[in-house]
Chain A
């Protein structure tokens, strides 16, 4: 039982990290129809910003630098990708975003070198909750993730802000005619999404270590979660982020030993699940059948 609960606990932390990035992807897709996959690299850049601040000897400085990195890269993302939204070229936007992500990762590797960095030196503080052990950054990840998930769900589904967000991409001319500054909304969403990515970058780095390509695996899983959950449904994005983390872990740890599934199979299962789900539900796991003329 302890083993089962510990696997759930560890997987929940990983799933929450994926959710952070999937949420950031969801928000940008909601307002611009572009999958901004560079968010993984932005998360990494914020982690390195935090590290640089710590090197200067101050936690406050670490927060300020990583925050500035997030805001700057969010704004640059908006400047670069806005054109592709206006030209209705989301695929080209995705490719440009991918290039931007790789460029950021390469720059990080040049500046900070490829070897890993630790945000917390030594053994991480452990929180024991009824026999299940969490690292302190893991606890922060879960708590912030819970607050973020609830806030995002309520904001998008239960408030006018959510409707405005969706309408910005779906009917921009109508939004403009209602006097809503859609440019400002998109700009804000890019910056907020970068901040969300930055938070997970710092938390994930605290939980393990900081490497230039640490955001890559998270981005891939988050990207898949966005589609598996249905890119127009935040509830689906939240659920898919956790399912794509928990199911592979259970298959690895509870499949009959004759299968010899090891941790190396994780991404195999993630892609396999995505393939199966999207084959049957191409609009996402929680999508409803819509009759189209």
Chain B
């Protein structure tokens, strides 16, 4: 399940390319079916039902966005199927069905690291897009930052004009502004419209999450984005990861190194678990839980009874000369 249309389609298309490539590298390639989940709950449920009812798949790789993953969660146990996400990070996934697993990191990890970094400031503003992933991160930050948040604004999903929200944030005169839009078009619009008040925001410390790691999301407002601090996926710089990325038929400008690795690992571990479950007469879920994972980013790590893979730490990045540089 991937967003193959809509604002996050660039991510979905790159991930599809990674999965097709990885599949050919597997000892026993799987038969892959792709459905467009659009980064939307409703579309994800439709995609899930098609994959299960028509394609009769053995496992789901997805959802991509947390809203998709959370939407299909109630359907997993009744269909006796496992969904392994490579990217979903909403803390709300933890504690859900044991058929729902994600090998990305939890945003609770991001919220912890982000909050620790800005705890010295007493005037923090947040701008959040209204969807599951961003609202969950905002809630985590509210728990950690409390009264330090002086302006807590949000805008509807896929909004195009955020100028009045920005004005409200400006009126609160914050020292730190946390930008919390979803990936895709909205994040680009938000940064562009903030840049219309560049004089003001030059004096505000800008903080964000995974959304602005991709260089494409910052190209239209490079001056404002310079020195922005990002808390996102950890950096992976092993030779194995580099070789895999170099072997891909085209570049992964949007998906980034970490999620390229988790996409590859999700497929590798899902296919292995499905095959092992047949051989051992066990369930796919049991295979995933009892064995340490293999792959580029997940090697040796395990779920330990959790929905999130354990032992992943957040990375802190700074935008320097237009590039996200690990600190």
Contacts and interface: CB of A to CB of B under 8 A. Distances in A.
Contacts of B170: 3
A126 B197 CA distance: 9
Interface string A183-208: 00000000000000000000000011
Interface in B36-79: none
B189 A3 contact: no
B189 A264 contact: no
B214 interface: no
Task: State which size class the interface on B falls in.
Answer: 20 to 34
B191 to A, nearest CB: 9
A126 B196 contact: yes
Nearest to A210: B160
B196 A124 contact: yes
Interface string A242-267: 00000001001100000000111011
Interface in B158-173: 158-165, 167-168, 170-171
Interface string B155-187: 110111111110110110000000000001100
A131 to B, nearest CB: 12
Contact of B153 (A109, A211, A262, A267): A262
A7 interface: yes
B211 to A, nearest CB: 15
Interface stretch (B1-9, B100-108, B304-312): B1-9
Contact of B156 (A114, A249, A266): A266
Given A116-B7, A123-B221, A263-B154, A135 B162 contact: no
Contacts of B155: 262-264
A90 B184 CA distance: 40
B10 interface: yes
B83 interface: no
B294 interface: no
A113 B5 contact: yes
- Most-contacted residue by chain B among A113, A209, A214 (CB, 10 A): A209
Given A135-B196, A214-B160, 13 more contacts: A3-B167, A7-B164, A14-B161, A114-B6, A116-B7, A116-B184, A122-B221, A123-B195, A209-B160, A209-B188, A211-B158, A249-B164, A263-B165
